[in-house]
Amino acid sequence: MARENIKVLIIDADKASAGKIAEILTPKGFSTILSYSGNDGIHKASYTSPDIVLLSYQLPDLESKEVLNRLKGFDRTIPIIIAMAVGGEKATVDLLKAGASDFLVKPVKSRDLLQAVKRVQAKRLADMEIQSQKFLSLGKLFPFLAHEIRNPLHAIGGALTVLQRRCNLKDDTIAQSIEIIREEVQRLNQFMQECLDFSRPPARRRFAQTDLNEVIRSSLNTLAPVIEAHPEKIEVITRLDDDLPKIKANFNEIKQVCHNILKNAIEAMKKRGKLEIHTSSAPHEKPRYAVINIIDTGTGIDEENLPYLFDPFFSTKSRGAGLGLALCKKIVVENHRGQIDIESKKNIGTTVTITLPFSP
């Protein structure tokens, strides 16, 4: 990765300190993004996707550990360097345990800064190479796996149809056994489809001008039977921006993302709940982004699980392959050059934010 392509987000309430760091990095070919508060830094990270973050320990609005956790929610691999005054050794240890990659003493010296940036970037590139090789292996394995498993599944499905016709379904034990087989065959077929979707390369030729409001409405129509069959009433609130311009995207892929996230939200609401879907735009940002917010009042997600939600095969459900959110991130980030972020509080609810450039 050329230095000209490496984006460094500097989050520091001290404008002079932030400016000095930018002055050191810019002549070396790094691209710098300045932010002077925790909330603003999180916002800028959500749509700029920085390669490195330099985070000051002292911020006016949020604790640095909260900012670090939120940034790791965007990308667990992002290197975060903590800058703090002398005497903060204990805090440094806590932040390193929380996922910080390195730390610097303020006022930051040019040599120390460049060495730290070089160290964390080299480690990230190595980690990315390992991850890339792992995904490449999965991409080769999944189609083979699907072929080898789907053939016997079709045979099982055919045999099951014969059994349903010839067996005495009035016998509760037989009827229950047949239903279990049918459900498990369906579950395995769905898993195989998720594997194939995950390994499939982006279909750029299917990109067209897409109305995100139409995507949302289509997804809700598909899930209407699930919402109506929910044991408790779910109130669905849509606030769709009628003036939202169309974006260049793959309609079916974005619908799949919305469908997965909406389905997760519905399943998370064990009791009576509220599901909100908003669309809006960030017209003053460069590049310009469209935004989808999906908010539920479900059970929420444990804080320790948040960094791993997008990892393939990680799941908090008792039944599930753990590829749903990994596929969502692949579609949004890799295929559409967007960003997907999840914020959640246990027993309060979850907010998923999807940002998509108008032209990827």
Dihedral sign (CA 206, 290, 316, 314): positive
My answer on whether 208 and 194 are in the same domain is no
My answer on whether 210 and 184 are in the same domain is no
Residue 305: Cβ within 10 Å count: 13
Residue 263, pLDDT score: 92
DSSP 312: T
**Integer distance in angstroms from the first to the last C-alpha of the chain?**
20
Biggest CA–CA distance in the chain, Å, is 81
| Three-state secondary-structure class, residue 36 | coil
Domain count, the chain: 3
Q: Is the pLDDT of residue 284 over 60?
A: no
Q: Is the pLDDT of residue 323 over 80?
A: no
My answer on whether 348 and 280 are in the same domain is yes
My answer on whether 335 and 214 are in the same domain is yes
| Three-state secondary-structure class, residue 190 | helix
117: in domain: no
Q: Is the pLDDT of residue 81 over 90?
A: yes
Residue 230, pLDDT score: 85
Domain around 144: 131-199
321: in domain: yes
Q: Is the pLDDT of residue 2 over 50?
A: no
121: in domain: no
Q: Is the pLDDT of residue 351 over 70?
A: yes
Outline where DSSP puts E strands in the chain. 7-11, 31-35, 52-56, 80-84, 102-105, 208-210, 234-239, 247-249, 273-282, 289-296, 339-345, 349-357
In the predicted model, what is the mean pLDDT of residues 158-179?
80
In the predicted model, what is the mean pLDDT of residues 184-188?
79
My answer on whether 263 and 322 are in the same domain is yes
Q: Is the pLDDT of residue 4 over 60?
A: no
* Structural domain ending residue among the three candidates 108, 141, 174: 108
Contact 38, 9 (CB under 8 A): no
Least confident of 82-86, 96-100, 148-152, 199-203: 199-203
User: What span, in angstroms and rounded, lies between the C-alpha atoms of 11 and 55?
Assistant: 5
Residue 161, pLDDT score: 83
My answer on whether 232 and 298 are in the same domain is yes
Residue 1, pLDDT score: 47
My answer on whether 224 and 281 are in the same domain is yes
More confident residue, 133 or 149: 149
My answer on whether 246 and 331 are in the same domain is yes
User: What span, in angstroms and rounded, lies between the C-alpha atoms of 29 and 9?
Assistant: 14
DSSP 331: I
* Structural domain ending residue among the three candidates 46, 75, 108: 108
Residue 213, pLDDT score: 96
In the predicted model, what is the mean pLDDT of residues 300-314?
82
126: in domain: no
Residue 272, pLDDT score: 87
DSSP 272: S
In the predicted model, what is the mean pLDDT of residues 160-189?
80
Cβ-in-10-Å burial (0-12, 13-18, 19+) of 56 comes to buried
Least confident of 30-34, 50-54, 175-179, 351-355: 175-179
Residue 319, pLDDT score: 61
190: in domain: yes
Residue 49, pLDDT score: 79
Amino acid occupying residue 36: Y
Contact 258, 295 (CB under 8 A): no
CA angle 124, 24, 286 (to 5 degrees): 70
My answer on whether 352 and 335 are in the same domain is yes
What CATH number is associated with residue 42?
Answer: 3.40.50.2300
Q: Is the pLDDT of residue 321 over 80?
A: no
pTM for this entry: 0.58
What is the percentage of the chain residues whose pLDDT exceeds 90? 33
Contact 54, 10 (CB under 8 A): yes
* Structural domain ending residue among the three candidates 77, 108, 139: 108
Q: Is the pLDDT of residue 207 over 80?
A: yes
User: What span, in angstroms and rounded, lies between the C-alpha atoms of 275 and 234?
Assistant: 7
What is the percentage of the chain residues whose pLDDT exceeds 70? 85
